[in-house]
Structure 1
């Protein structure tokens, strides 16, 4: 059955929103058991598909984005990626990728998630498939630019999509569950690359060309199925009963202080003018540089430690498995404790220790431990950080733009990571840069925790002195997180 029987889900959503009584808070009728059952039902119907979508997205990064898997599989030799050519080809991906993320999330809000996200997937799957026909360095650069354009909206889009379904306090676990697919993609990317390399010569294609072809075809097949399996909004979800829909809408409205959910350009401007969003986006770069360093270079780093190509592909698996476990645990306990900052600091510190080991140690065993810690630690910070930023933005449209700003600015870290691993076999410049980035994020996160706590106390004082109570929340509907009733997560 299609997710929505409506010919125009957006029109249905607008009509339903007008009929909701903002005074009657149905979320208060939910006890803990009912709330848990409702969220579990959302998990069953939403998370498997979005997890699969993002797994394919990150698998594309692992296999097709000039990762070490394709590089050590012979791509560098066949395309003559000498000198800085490999690094430049990695950088050009981000030219259009960064600029397309904010427009993509706006389109997602104006259109339908169940249409826009699969369209994105089909587009990048087609480009990835055609990459198997690349024979020169110049052709590689062109396809990389288009791959960045077509894939830009997936990660911010999925995060924005989930934020429209789950209360803020439950978001980190869900982001962690779908983001953990990235670590699984990293783990199985090495295994798949190892297996696909055995197809070298089949059909006149090299092993690395088969990597591009098969990943792209798989993406398009799943994207086509997503057209029929994905749901749009809580108000139009066919898998919920009428009572469940009413309860979920009330729960989300109460959680957001009944802030605006419709599109208006003023909310886009609110996001673009919010200095906190820009500061947190800058801090996020400090976490993303090590993430991209892992995705782009960890096979190369392990290979430079003296391991064979076959062993290198397989040795990339355990660090990603550890990252998957740490990511899920960090998301779960972050939601349980309703804290974000401490979990970001904890994961960043573990990764920092790993990069210090990589920087200082020479032996393969110790260096592999460093790579293990660096991967496991930094992956666990990303979903918690995104949930933190999402929780501290009021209003649907502003939140969507800020999430896109966050991921867009953070992808500047992808450019940085593409250019810092230039000095094998020790890679001191790369490891040193990651040490600096992680230290910056730890210090910035510590300050942000203090600052948000200070803002909450100021708002509490304003409400107390001005007699502002919950029954006046409709007065501040278009103010976003500037509403005196909005509280920031620490």
Structure 2
């Protein structure tokens, strides 16, 4: 079974890593609960726990901040659709947008994201990942700052598309980055930790939007323009600190041609001691190896039967999640008939419930790796239950409660999918397998966002009279498809496991 032994060098140690003959053979022999290749003493296991907690303190807050900032601009766009609606200062009225304009602008943001997700993630494997992630934050903020100056529908549509390009690669890039520091059985909880940033960001946009509506008219600018201007400037500054804050995964990286970047590297202190690095690399060596990008690897990942159920799982829940993120204020306003400030304030609790779902459910995804499809399916059923309540139950405030329930269900779904993806493809293709598979799942899966933002809600004007009943039902349908796909993923994994047992 074993073909060769490869030396993996760290700054202080050389770790032996077993390589299999081919990715096909690995897939046949793959077993998520297999015995570890490397044996640790009880003392080493305790030390590993300390090491990962040490990495947590350095990495998780940085990724959390990064994801909070990149999520804020996109989610804030949904609030601009209703901000200061009583005085006609929403982004729709200010720019004289048609229904087609708002739907196209929302969809093109995701299209830009989808097209550039994979190439951006591949570039990241050649460069310093921590610096590349910081670059994404910088360019994303720069583009959103320009929203304060947009004057017409064409400008907005162009900016939404450029926003998608600027932010492309952030979510799969973070998955790739964290896979460089954590083994698969420790990933879901960590992904869940920084994924909470999106929920807090969504809640914050509602609260912040309420505040910025009070600034409406100052120096002749609408509240939404002030929001984007101040957000953009703050985020640009923070993006520069992230280069120093996020640790570099390569201790032997060659110096840059630019003196400025070399000075930044001297400020970026690695969080582990040489002894801790040695034990950390020993742990990681049994799960993945450093590999180079090739077209053969790309096609091997893209044609692997295991990636397509993951893409469809992502399609459904990300469509529902972004449907609520972009049009949550629209739904609340349609059902409760409140003023725009109250709508913004009621938008925030949806994402606090989402946060609770992450914190309460994702630990089970790590504890029971084989049951990850079940964890995903149960969470998705909660989304469906919430949407059904929002659509059909009276009185009206109960419908708002349905949005809170749907938010709770959303929490654990995306982190579970991304952990499954990293776990499967790191075993098959090493680090580049994680980068490619994460980008494909995120990129193609985000077609669900295009579907929900372009075809549903404001993209379906006649549905407004039904309080968006049919749009909600379409989201329920795609969530159901995601559940079916999770079952398919489970069956494929069970068959591969059975192949291994027969091989024994």
TM-score bracket relative to the smaller structure: 0.7 to 0.9
Shift of 1:402: 0.5
Measure, in 1, the Cα distance between the counterparts of 2:51 and 2:123. Answer: 28
Q: 1:56 aligns with which of 44, 66, 69?
A: 69
Shift of 1:37: 0.9
Shift of 1:445: 0.9
Measure, in 2, the Cα distance between the counterparts of 1:402 and 1:316. Answer: 33
Contact 2:67 2:198 in 1 (8 A): yes
Q: 2:208 aligns with which of 173, 187, 192?
A: 192
Write the deviation string for residues 268-309 of structure 1: whole angstroms up to 9, x where unpaired: 232222232133212310111101101100111001121221
SS of 1:302 mapped into structure 2: helix
Distance 1:60 1:228, change over 3 A: same
Partner of 1:392: 424
Measure, in 1, the Cα distance between the counterparts of 2:334 and 2:440. Answer: 36
1:28 equivalent in alignment to 2:68: no
Contact 1:93 1:147 in 2 (8 A): yes
Partner of 2:141: 125
Partner of 2:442: 407
Measure, in 2, the Cα distance between the counterparts of 1:32 and 1:67. Answer: 50
Measure, in 2, the Cα distance between the counterparts of 1:91 and 1:172. Answer: 29
Contact 1:291 1:379 in 2 (8 A): no
1:100 equivalent in alignment to 2:116: yes
Task: Tell me how large the CA RMSD over aligned residues is.
Answer: 2.2
Distance 1:246 1:319, change over 3 A: same
Partner of 1:291: 321
Extract unaligned runs of 5+ from structure 2: 1-7, 19-35, 253-268
Measure, in 2, the Cα distance between the counterparts of 1:455 and 1:26. Answer: 23
Partner of 2:279: 247
Distance 1:211 1:85, change over 3 A: same
Shift of 1:17: 10
Contact 2:16 2:285 in 1 (8 A): no
Write the deviation string for residues 25-44 of structure 1: whole angstroms up to 9, x where unpaired: 76624643222111111100
Measure, in 1, the Cα distance between the counterparts of 2:205 and 2:364. Answer: 28
1:340 equivalent in alignment to 2:372: yes
Measure, in 1, the Cα distance between the counterparts of 2:338 and 2:193. Answer: 32
Write the deviation string for residues 314-363 of structure 1: whole angstroms up to 9, x where unpaired: 11122211110111222112112233111101110111001111221353
Distance 1:109 1:449, change over 3 A: same
SS of 1:255 mapped into structure 2: coil
Select between 65-74 and 35-44 the one with higher mean Cα deviation: 65-74
Counterparts of 1:253-272 in structure 2, within 5 Å, are 253-256=285-288, 259-272=289-302
Shift of 1:15: 7.1
Contact 1:55 1:185 in 2 (8 A): yes
Contact 2:134 2:243 in 1 (8 A): yes
Partner of 1:324: 355
Contact 1:26 1:247 in 2 (8 A): no
Extract unaligned runs of 5+ from structure 1: 1-12, 465-490
Partner of 2:168: 152
Select between 147-156 and 199-208 the one with higher mean Cα deviation: 199-208
Shift of 1:82: 2.5
Select between 347-356 and 216-225 the one with higher mean Cα deviation: 216-225
Distance 1:75 1:126, change over 3 A: same
1:439 equivalent in alignment to 2:474: no
TM-score, length of structure 2 as denominator length? 0.84
Distance 1:53 1:69, change over 3 A: farther
Write the deviation string for residues 59-102 of structure 1: whole angstroms up to 9, x where unpaired: 11211367645585611111112332211111111222111111
Contact 1:121 1:223 in 2 (8 A): yes
Number of positions where the alignment pairs a residue of Structure 1 with one of Structure 2? 449
Distance 1:226 1:76, change over 3 A: same
Shift of 1:213: 1.1
Partner of 2:456: 420
Measure, in 2, the Cα distance between the counterparts of 1:452 and 1:381. Answer: 19
Q: 1:46 aligns with which of 31, 45, 59?
A: 59
Contact 1:350 1:377 in 2 (8 A): yes
Contact 2:329 2:347 in 1 (8 A): yes
Contact 2:306 2:489 in 1 (8 A): no
Shift of 1:450: 2.2
Select between 14-23 and 272-281 the one with higher mean Cα deviation: 14-23
Measure, in 2, the Cα distance between the counterparts of 1:142 and 1:365. Answer: 38
Counterparts of 1:360-379 in structure 2, within 5 Å, are 360-379=392-411
Q: 2:384 aligns with which of 352, 357, 370?
A: 352
Contact 2:80 2:224 in 1 (8 A): no
Shift of 1:392: 1.2
Counterparts of 1:274-285 in structure 2, within 5 Å, are 274-285=304-315
SS of 2:271 mapped into structure 1: coil
